[in-house]
Amino acid sequence: MSDYQIISADEAKALIASEAVTILDVRDHRSYRAGHIEGARILHDDLEQALLAEGELERPLLFYCYRGNDSKAKAEHFARLGFQRVYSLDNGFTGWPRETPGPSPST
């Protein structure tokens, strides 16, 4: 049986920058629409079935929720299904650094 890892936002950013990661938001649709990690897809039953059907068990999966609790359960579930590289974002979306706008360029 596979296991999952809890990783920090910095570790998640490094993983995302280094390879193709499927980022899965386990929050509700309203929260997702209000803001989410770039490239994230909201997890629903059809997407779970599609990921299983593709059979790419080596594909890295990164789960996140509000504060990092619900995503642990989803990560564990997918690890039990045989996915080999499963991660849960520590502190969830609340721990994800928000991009702050830089100074406006002078004209």
Rounded CA-CA distance 32/103 in Å is 28
Active-site entry in 65, 75, 79, 86: 65
23 burial level (CB within 10 Å; 0-12, 13-18, 19+):
buried
Is residue 18 within 8 Å of residue 11, measured between CB atoms? no
62 included as an active-site residue? no
With beta carbons less than 8 A apart as the criterion, state whether 58 and 20 touch.
Answer: no
Q: 94 in helix, strand or coil?
A: helix
Which residues form the catalytic set? Answer: 65
